[in-house]
Every structure is written in C-alpha cells, then in structure tokens.
A and B are shown apart, each in its own frame.
Chain A
Amino acid sequence: MHRFRSKAFAPYALLTPGTAWLVLFFLVPMVYLGKMSLETGLFPLFSFDWAWSNFSDAISAYSTQFVRSLEYAAFATAIALLISYPLAYWIAFRGGRWKNLFLLLVIAPFFVTYLIRTLAWQTILSDGGVVVTILKDVHILGADGRLLATSAAVVAGITYNFLPFMVLPLYVSLEQVDHRLIEAAGDLYANRVVSFLRVTLPLSLPGVFAGVLLTFIPAMGDFINAQLLGTPRQYMIGNVIQSQFLSLRNYPTAAALSFMLMGAILVLVLIFARALGTDRLTAGAAR
C-alpha cells in the first residue's frame, strides 16, 4: 500500500522543481507582460487601467515594421528551405558512413557566437569587399550599388543565422524515410522524380514543418541582423520592441507589441498547420 502511494507521487516529485521554475520565470512573466500591455503612464509611473488602446496605437504606429518582419522572415525561411533541403537530402541519402561528420560540419559554424557571425557578414558584404567588387565587375550591381545596409543583406543574415534550425529537422525526417518504399515506387515504374514527389517528399513533410517553424519564429522576432546589416529603414518589429523597452522605456507599448508578435506567430503557425494537414503533423509529433 505504501509502495503504491509512493509510485503515484513519484512523477510529481520529479516534475515539481523544473516545472516550478518554468511557471515562475516563464508563465508568471507572461502574465506581468500582459498586465503591462494594458497600463498607461510615463516611466517610472505606470498604472493599470485596461488600456486596450495601447494595442491599436502600437499597431497603427508600427505596422510598417510588422509587415516588414513578416516579409523578411518569410523570404529568409523560403531561402533557407531551398538551401537546406538538398543539403539534408544529400547527407541523409549520400552521406554513407560520413553522415555524422557532415552533420557536425553543418552545426560547427554555429559555435561561433551569433554576433560574431553576423559581424563576419558585415565584412563580407561591406562596400569595399570581394562580393560587392565582383558584382560590380559583372554589372549586376551599379557603380554606386551596395549590399550592406539593404534589405537583401538583412534577409541574407537572417537566412544564414537560422540555417541549422532548418537543416537538422529536415535531416531527421529524411533519414527516417524507409528506402524500401522508394525501391517499391521504382518497381512500380515511378521514375526518380515521381518517386521523390510521391514518396520521399510527403514523408519528409514533418521535417519541413518543424524546420519552417524553427526558422520562421526566431526570424520574425530578430533584431540583430537588421541592426548590424541594415539601417533604420530595414528595422523590424524586434528593433522597435527593443528600443521601446530599453531606450525609450515605454513599457506598455513594448509589451503590447510583444504580445502582438506572439499572436501573429501563433496565427501563422495555425494557418500553416492547417495547410499542411493536421494528420501529418500529429504523425510527425508522434515520432
């Protein structure tokens, strides 16, 4: 009897310390953020009075940055998918016994600090740099054209910085594809393209879904790439939240913007999940 009781309590004993930490430092802060988003006043005196207008004011003031974040994040995610899918496919199907080494090579660059990586892109894309010089020589870029401080630079930076989040889930799902199914498709007279489109690609969709989410979410909230590779004309919603919070100390507006960012991401994730089909997603989650 005693043993039975201890078994029933065991999971809760194991869970409590960690979940308590998450409740205290993730959930409770979210509640405070929500409360802050409905306050009015000037730093440091804010008072809570259900100021829903914070949300409408913030969205009308910063809709440009909101839309821009969406565009940049969508572009960066799409490009990351185009770069990563063939790479992940190659590692999973052609990697042989070097698979783990190639995976290591994919992850390794990301052990150079995020900011240093982005500063390296500043060097690569800089006005006197090799890339700009070559592009000018072949007349893709005009004589006074530049890469740094453009939207292209910011999108390129975001794409690069979140690439492993795309490659790894793609690799995991492609690695699990049963090769016998592809052989079967071949036996049934599907050519390589058809068997890829009808067998491999659908089976890798959970990886595509995970990769797109894991890339899109941090991309949407990023402000470092816009700050280091762009100008205020490329600023994203993250830059606005950052400066509202830390420079202007307009906490209510910053809090309202943070919530709208989360809300926008949630809505997009749900739409995306619906589009890809929930059955596939739960199948992916069950793995």
Chain B
Amino acid sequence: MIARIRRHALDVYALLALGYLFLPIAIVIAFSFNNPLGRFNYTWAGFTLKNWAHPLAYPGLGSAIWVSLEIAFLSALVATVLGTLIALALVRYRFRGSGTTNLLIFVPMTTPEIVLGASLLTLFLNWKIPQGFGTILIAHIMFNISYVVVTVRARLVGFDRHLEEAAMDLGANELVTFVRVTLPLIAPGILAAGLLAFALSVDDFVITYFNAGTVTTFPLFVWGAARVAVPPQINVVGTAIFLVAVGGMFANVIWQNRRAKRLAAA
C-alpha cells in the first residue's frame, strides 16, 4: 500500500515537473495569439490571428531571422566537419597529445559564455578586426566544435571495427571503406551533431552580443525589443522555431527507429 502511494507520488511529481517545463512555452504560444493594447505583450487582451498573418513584416524581424539562419547553417556546417575529424582522430588513433586535445575540447564547454564572448571581443579589438557577420560566424564555429566532437565521439565509440576490416578484406581501399562503410554508419551521429550545432547557434545570445557589431541576429532582436516593446510577432517566431525543432526531433526518432528495424531485417 505504502509502496503504491509512493509509486504514484513519483508519477505525480514527474508530471508536475513536466508541466513546469512547459508552462512558459504555453505562455509563449498563447501570447502569440494575443491582441495587445499597448506596446508590451504582457497582459491578455483578446484573441487574434493577425500576428500570424505577416510576422516577418515587422520591421527588422525578417532580416534578423535570416542572419540567424545563415550563421547557424554555416557555423554548423564548418563545425561539424572540423569536429568530426577531431572525433575520428581521438577515437581511432593513439597519439602523443591526445590528452591535451581532449582538454582543449573540454575547457571551452566549461567556460562561462560571458568569458568566451569577452575574450573574443578582446582579440578582435587587438587585431583591429571590425565586428559583424564574420566575427559572429568565427565565434559560433568555435563554441560549436566541442559539442560536435562530444556527440560524434559517442557514436564512434560503439562502432564495430570488424565491418571495416571486412570491407578491406573484400578489396576496398581505405578511402572506399571510409565512404561506403564508416560514413553511413556514423551518419546519424554526424547529423545529430550538426543539428545540435545549428540549434546552439540559433539560440546563442551572450557570445553573439559581444561580437556582433551592428549586425542583428534573432536573439539580439529580441533583446533590443525587450527594452522598448515586445511585439507578439516575436512569440509567433518563437512558437514557429519550437514547432520546427520538435517536429524535426520527432522525425529523427522515427527515422532512427525505422533504420534500426531495416538493419535488423537485413
């Protein structure tokens, strides 16, 4: 009896925790349909669909989103390539300096963002590099590399090397083996790393804030708006990003499941 109560207590606790996680999101989604009276979108004033009609028509919002997407795509691409190569080296080879490399991957992840942003700002000031799109991109690639390495490495560690040996025994050279055997097998890990990098880049505020110059990304736009007036269009975009991300994650889960089934059947 007591065990049963405790069992349900834990269920209730977990559901409450999940509810707590989703409360602000419910607010964001609800207020994207709000028809605010003043400039601030804080109190409920009536239902409307007009914010959803032309969200990107709000001055500056469309271009900010476009900049964010460009930077996210480019930084995810470069960081995924660079990070995957590092992960391959760390998992596949024993070499002098691997400990130092591990440290170099690990330390940026444990450094507060504000310090990363500030130190890059100092570098660009010293080298007299004007801040803008390029410096944001450099910064985003930098913080994304570590996350890619960690994600891809997790996939590589559980890799069955016999498959590669089999390909080599069948006469494939190293390059063919890599492209035809290794790459397809670690592709889900690389894709996951790329998506993670993309998400981290789209969401980054602090490091970008220090290194953006006059360029405005979506988080910087929100920050600027929070000081003057938060338009409901921001909630619309926030909701849209949320739906796309969650949809993508569901698709990924389904894809992985199907893949697992197909591999099991083959």
Interface residues of A in 102-131 (CB under 8 A from B): 102, 104-109, 111-117, 119-124, 126, 128
Assess the B241–A224 pair: CB atoms within 8 A. Answer: no
Closest A residue by C-beta to B148: A18
Mark interface residues in B1-41 (1 if CB within 8 Å of A CB, else 0). 00100100011011001101111110110010000000001
Of the candidates A29, A126, A217, A242, which one forms a contact with B42 in the assembled complex, judged by CB atoms under 8 Å apart?
Answer: A126
Interface residues of A in 28-53 (CB under 8 A from B): 28-30, 32-33, 36
Docked complex Cα distance between A84 and B149 (Å): 26
For B, the interface residue count at a CB cutoff of 8 angstroms equals 82
Docked complex Cα distance between A114 and B218 (Å): 11
Query: B116 interface residue, CB < 8 Å from A?
Result: yes
Query: A142 interface residue, CB < 8 Å from B?
Result: no
* Residues of chain A lying within 8 A (CB to CB) of residue B121: 245
Given A23-B104, A112-B25, A242-B114, are A14 and B250 also a contact pair (CB < 8 Å)? no
Query: B245 interface residue, CB < 8 Å from A?
Result: yes
Assess the A241–B114 pair: CB atoms within 8 A. Answer: yes
* Residues of chain A lying within 8 A (CB to CB) of residue B126: 32
Query: A11 interface residue, CB < 8 Å from B?
Result: yes
Query: B214 interface residue, CB < 8 Å from A?
Result: no
Of the candidates B23, B203, B226, which one forms a contact with A119 in the assembled complex, judged by CB atoms under 8 Å apart?
Answer: B226
Assess the B24–A22 pair: CB atoms within 8 A. Answer: no
Query: A189 interface residue, CB < 8 Å from B?
Result: no
Given A32-B119, A113-B238, A245-B210, are A91 and B31 also a contact pair (CB < 8 Å)? no
Assess the B112–A221 pair: CB atoms within 8 A. Answer: yes
Given A14-B85, A111-B199, are A258 and B234 also a contact pair (CB < 8 Å)? no
Interface residues of B in 131-180 (CB under 8 A from A): 138-139, 141-142, 145-146, 149
Of the candidates A10, A109, A258, which one forms a contact with B24 in the assembled complex, judged by CB atoms under 8 Å apart?
Answer: A109
Query: A209 interface residue, CB < 8 Å from B?
Result: no
* Residues of chain B lying within 8 A (CB to CB) of residue A238: 112, 114
Mark interface residues in A1-37 (1 if CB within 8 Å of B CB, else 0). 0000000101110110111011101111110110010
* Residues of chain B lying within 8 A (CB to CB) of residue A217: 110-112
Closest B residue by C-beta to A122: B42
Docked complex Cα distance between A269 and B85 (Å): 30
Assess the A121–B246 pair: CB atoms within 8 A. Answer: no
- For chain A, give the interface size range: 35 or more
- Shortest CB-to-CB span from A245 to chain B, Å, is 6
Chain B residues with CB under 8 Å of chain A are 3, 6, 10-11, 13-14, 17-18, 20-25, 27-28, 31, 41-43, 81-83, 85-86, 88-89, 92-93, 95, 98, 101, 104-105, 107-108, 110-116, 118-123, 125-126, 138-139, 141-142, 145-146, 149, 199, 202-203, 205-206, 209-210, 218-219, 222-223, 226, 230, 234-235, 238-239, 241-242, 245-246, 249-250, 253
Q: Which 6 A-B pairs give the minimum distances between C-beta atoms?
A: A221-B112, A18-B82, A111-B245, A120-B24, A29-B119, A11-B93
Name 25 A/B residue pairs within 8 A (Cβ), A-sorted.
A8-B95, A10-B89, A14-B88, A17-B82, A21-B145, A22-B108, A25-B142, A29-B122, A33-B115, A86-B13, A86-B17, A100-B253, A109-B21, A111-B246, A116-B234, A119-B234, A120-B31, A123-B42, A124-B27, A160-B20, A217-B110, A220-B112, A245-B210, A246-B210, A258-B114
